[in-house]
Structure 1
Amino acid sequence: MTSIPRYKSDEAVVYDDVLPADQFAALFRYLNGVEYASVHAQRWHKVWRLTDGNPLTAKAGWYHPRPVGRPRTPRYPTGTPLDRLVDWIVARVPDVASVVGNLDAWEALSFAPWIYPAGSGLSLHQDGARYTGAFTYFAHPHWKLHWGGHLMVLDPQTPRRDLAGGELMPAFLNDDDETARVFDPGLAQVILPRPNRIVFISPTAQHVLTKVDASAGQAARVSVAGFFHKPATRPQAP
């Protein structure tokens, strides 16, 4: 398993060849059998715009580095191939603390399977104030450049949301102000969804998941993604 980042910035850290081949194959087989539902099954989540399609997700698991008053379930270890990936992530936290926070900064790590079929993506967003960071691990066995599904992280010099100027948040029904803002300087780092790659993302990073192209066909963009959650305000166990 690799321990040297392929790419590192203040916004993102990328590692390749995360799991050995047998563990990678076992994880993909497991993800094939998971029960998925639309991310909008209960209501429309506005971080996805109306043209972002219909991504699918499954129930999140939880890793707690310390005892908490009310631990969330299902808890790690899950007894599934997901555990090997979580093991790798937890071991790597000291190396990516500048992006996702150290062990003292977050209370729990969530991790969930995701499928982005052809026609789906995720428009410009930040991961929010509830998290110290996030990750995405690409679990599909192969991918092609023109299938899309790329992670695009805007240049850190890009201005933040100008809510005082009238910009909508989220920019769900009108993104004219957002579009005008991000073209200064209009640059981004693009991270391709290479199989067995993981990307750690800063909560301040403005990023986009470009739509999966129709040419991908049945080859959906499959990932495990999650968040490093800040300590909750609820009372903790003594």
Structure 2
Amino acid sequence: MKITISTPHLTVVDDFLGEAEFASLAASLQFLSYRPMHSKEWVKAYGLSSAAVLQSEIVTRGRVDSTPPGMGRVGNLVERIAQPEEALRDGYPQGITGQGATITGRTVLSGVGAGLNWHNDAETLLGAYVFYGHPRWGSSWGGELLVLAETETGTESEADGRNGIGRSDGRPREVNGDLGPDFMLDARAEQYRNDIGHGTFVSARPNRLVLLTSHVHHRVAPVTPSAGDQPRTAVVGFFVSDADAS
């Protein structure tokens, strides 16, 4: 495994699992039970597109350990993410570890047209991760994770000062609570993203792990028709402080 990107709020690790272990996990994801993303609730960050988005049951590790039937390999992956090898631990964004946290994990399948709107995760979360479990992914198939450029820690950017949503620790201020998917109805959140206007894209490379703190704006580009019937297959989850989970 190797760290490809490392910033205070974003870490990308390639070849996270060994070749045989990854092949076994990728095969097992094909046999899980899935249901439509919006079948029980409106997951706002995914919008209400007609594009296919399916999700599995959820695994948890930490204060509560839970493994639905057939999801043992996903559970093993979540444990590996929660307790990284010593050589990798220092590369994780600050505060994202399994110590004092509950880690969740579920598989999300995204079909052609499916993506994720601009948002940042609730400040009650320590962070989030995505692990790409498809055996192959074409460079023209879309599904890239887009991450807004980070403001300098300890300073307020010009955009922050104009819009009143910067904070001295480099994190966005709350606008009507945590900044979630606002459908461009929150002018200050939209202006904040437009004023920065650049960032990093991370392709959905197989066997790639991406870790994000809750303080960074991000979205997922829609899967393109070039992907055909190959879904973007990702194990996604959150690091939840046990103090907040209680």
User: What band does the TM-score fall into relative to the shorter chain?
Assistant: 0.7 to 0.9
Query: 1:38 pairs with 10, 33, 36, which one?
Result: 36
CA distance 1:32–1:234, change in 2 (3 Å):
closer
**Pair 1:145 & 2:139 matched:** yes
Find the residue that maps to 1:81 and give its secondary structure.
helix
Q: Is the 8 A contact 2:109 2:232 kept in 1?
A: yes
Seen in structure 2, the aligned counterparts of structure 1 residues 188 and 52 have a Cα distance that, compared at 3 Å, is farther
Question: CA deviation digits over 1:176-214, x for unaligned, max 9?
Answer: 654433121201111111111100111101101110011
* Contact 1:12–1:99 (8 Å) recurs in 2: no
- Once the 2 structures are TM-superposed, how far is the Cα of residue 162 of structure 1 from its aligned partner? 7.1
Kindly indicate whether residue 78 of structure 2 is the aligned counterpart of residue 86 of structure 1: yes
Q: Which residue of 1 aligns with 2:93?
A: 98
The two structures, once aligned, show a CA RMSD in angstroms of 2.8
Q: Deviations over 1:77-125 (max 9, x none)?
A: 9773224423431224732453443444x42111111111111010111
Cα deviation 1:138-172 (Å, max 9, x = unaligned) = 011111111100001101136436737xxx95414
Q: Does the aligned pair in 2 maintain the 1:138–1:198 contact within 8 Å?
A: yes
Q: Which amino acid aligns with 1:7?
A: I
Is 1:135 the counterpart of 2:129 in the alignment?
yes
2: CA distance between counterparts of 1:103 and 1:127? 18
Q: 1 CA distance for matches of 2:113 and 2:201?
A: 19
Further displaced range: 15-24 or 44-53: 44-53
For residue 52 of structure 1, report the CA deviation from its aligned partner.
Answer: 7.7
* Deviates most, 108-117 or 125-134: 125-134
Per the TM alignment, residue 229 of structure 1 is displaced from its structure 2 partner at its CA by: 0.7
Confirm or deny: 8 A CA contact 1:109 1:227 kept in the other structure. yes
Q: 1:73 maps to which residue?
A: 66
TM-aligned CA distance change 1:41 to 1:79, over 3 Å: closer
Aligned length: 224
Decide whether aligned partners of structure 1 residues 172 and 43 sit closer, same or farther in structure 2, where only a CA change above 3 A counts: farther
**Corresponding position of 1:163:** 175
How far off is 1:62 after superposition?
1.0
Q: Distance in 2 between matches of 1:204 and 1:185?
A: 15
Give 1:173 deviation, angstroms.
7.2
Alpha-carbon spacing, 1:108–1:162, altered in 2? closer, same or farther (3 Å): closer
Change (3 A) 1:162 1:51: farther
Taking every aligned residue pair, what percent have the same amino acid on both sides? 26
User: Judging changes above 3 Å, is the alpha-carbon distance between structure 1 residues 161 and 50 closer, same or farther for their aligned structure 2 residues?
Assistant: farther
Find the aligned partners of 2:128 and 2:67 in 1 and give their Cα distance. Answer: 19
Separation (CA, whole Å) in 2 of partners of 1:37 and 1:162: 33
Report the Cα distance in structure 1 between the residues aligned to 2:65 and 2:73, rounded to whole angstroms. Answer: 20
Q: Give the counterpart letter for 2:143 in structure 1.
A: G
Instruction: State the secondary structure of the residue aligned to 1:85.
Output: helix
**Equivalents in 2 of 1:52, 1:123: separation in Å?**
14
SS at match of 2:38: coil
For the Cα contact (< 8 Å) 1:52–1:211, is it kept in 2? Answer: no
Return the TM-score normalized by structure 2: 0.80
